[in-house]
Structure 1
Amino acid sequence: MVDFARFDARHYPTLGVREGYAAWAPTYEDTVVDLMDLRLLERLQIQWRAAGRVLDLACGTGRIGAWLRAKGVQRIDGVDLTPQMLAQAREKGVYEGLTVGDITDTGIPSDRYNLITQSLADEHLPDLGPLYAEAFRLARPGGGFVLVGYHPWFLMSGIPTHFDRAPGEPVAIESHVHLFSDHVRAALGAGWRLATLEEGVIDDAWVARKAKWDQYRDRPVSFAFVWLKP
């Protein structure tokens, strides 16, 4: 892990994870960009309809759960730290079970899921080891773990996860920089095997959405690891 404070170019007031996402919950789906994660998920060579039982870690408002259901996944559970986010996920009606909890220590029985997903949350963890270990514990033998994240290059460009708490009042959520080597070390240490890695870059679609990001064109903004449990 590299301390994000060394790269912070915005110097926004910073909130803790639970407090930050509680404040962001009312506007989260209006501001998060599908290009960050859903477009990467579309690129993965996964038979989603045949995925079986899926756990959506850090499920938030249920964006990923809704996407999974649209892909034909029938059995989805979700875990998130923030009750305000889970309230919106519950309204989507795509989850069998929703739990308020820590994604590194869910309390869910072991070997329960064919596939585990986690999107846009790893940068809020000071240490990746407990996340990969918990996902490995929860996955059935032969199961998978799909992790989509905010690219460390973009964080190291000084832009934290942030939102407007009120008009003209940007705030950041506590962030940590994890290099890809940190992910590989933590995942292999937990027992995972790497299947694939995809990266998303700033392109025309991004610039059409965020014109000011033209200065970052062709730079990586997000990534997706797919891990397999032997």
Structure 2
Amino acid sequence: MPSFADFDRRNYRTVDVPTGYDGWAATYEQTVMDDMDLALLDRVRLNWSGVRRAADLGCGTGRTGAWLRTRGVTHIDGVDLSAGMLARARTRGAHTTLTQGDVRESGLTSGAYDLVISSLIDEHLPDLTPFYAEARRVAAPGAAFVLVSYHPQFMMVTGMPTHYTAESGEPLAISTHLHLLSAHVTAGVAAGWQLTQATEALVDDAWLAIKPKWADLRGHPFTMALVWTLPR
């Protein structure tokens, strides 16, 4: 399998996930655009208002939790490795509970959730297998697992890691891994999930209005959403 290091064009100094997101927390909301993830969730065909309990793995500042609230989801338990991001999520108030922990060992109750959701986090995991297995562990029969990811094609074409600008002004990469679609399918199927939907966001006019320097990337996919389900 290819490594992101084979494509990295920035060669920024790299920090680990909790260090990076603690450092990014204060400016995260200003740098991550809705077109990257929430716009994809708008395209997912799911009975959001019928969700009783949702597990938000890698909940960050609470953006996904707030989006779920607007869709009628009332119980959302969030888990994130970064104390700084969790502090922002607490201020937002979208989650029922917030816990500091690893998405591969969340500590959430087994079989308790009819929705598991994660957004823009899997590129930080060296292996997808434990992540998909943990999502399966906490999911109830008939549950859905919605995963929004950076598209591997985008990562390979741009050579751009997940990164932010530190207070010092230094650009820092957060440990980034490349996962082909086949890696997602292999890990998901091994955990017992069934892939039921897949959708991609492309660099289009709306995105270029925000990022005009990406004109050469017009038509390329930059994020994707996979929807998995469990049999009842």
TM-score by length of 2: 0.97
RMSD over aligned Cα atoms:
1.0
In structure 1, the residue matched to 2:188 is 187
CA distance in 1, matches of 2:188, 2:36: 22
SS at match of 1:144: strand
SS at match of 1:224: strand
In structure 2, the residue matched to 1:95 is 95
2:109 is the alignment partner of 1:77: no
Instruction: Describe how 1:58-207 pairs up with structure 2 within 5 A.
Output: 58-157=58-157, 158-166=159-167, 168-207=169-208
Which residues of structure 1 form unaligned runs of 5+?
Answer: none
User: Which letter maps to 1:8?
Assistant: D
2:223 is the alignment partner of 1:222: yes
CA distance in 1, matches of 2:47, 2:111: 20
User: Which letter maps to 2:83?
Assistant: P
CA distance in 1, matches of 2:86, 2:169: 26
Cα-to-partner distance string for 1:120-143 (whole Å, 9 max, x where unaligned): 000000000000000001000000
Using the TM superposition, give the Cα deviation of residue 82 of structure 1 relative to its aligned residue in structure 2, in angstroms: 0.5
| Identity fraction in percent | 53
How many residue pairs get matched? 230
Cα-to-partner distance string for 1:141-168 (whole Å, 9 max, x where unaligned): 0001000001111111201111111375
CA distance in 1, matches of 2:109, 2:39: 31
CA distance in 1, matches of 2:156, 2:19: 24
SS at match of 2:144: strand
Q: Work out whether residues 37 and 222 of structure 1, in 8 Å CA contact, stay in contact via their aligned partners in 2.
A: yes
Q: Work out whether residues 2 and 176 of structure 1, in 8 Å CA contact, stay in contact via their aligned partners in 2.
A: no
Which residues of structure 2 form unaligned runs of 5+?
Answer: none
SS at match of 1:123: helix
User: Which letter maps to 1:6?
Assistant: D
User: Which letter maps to 1:222?
Assistant: T
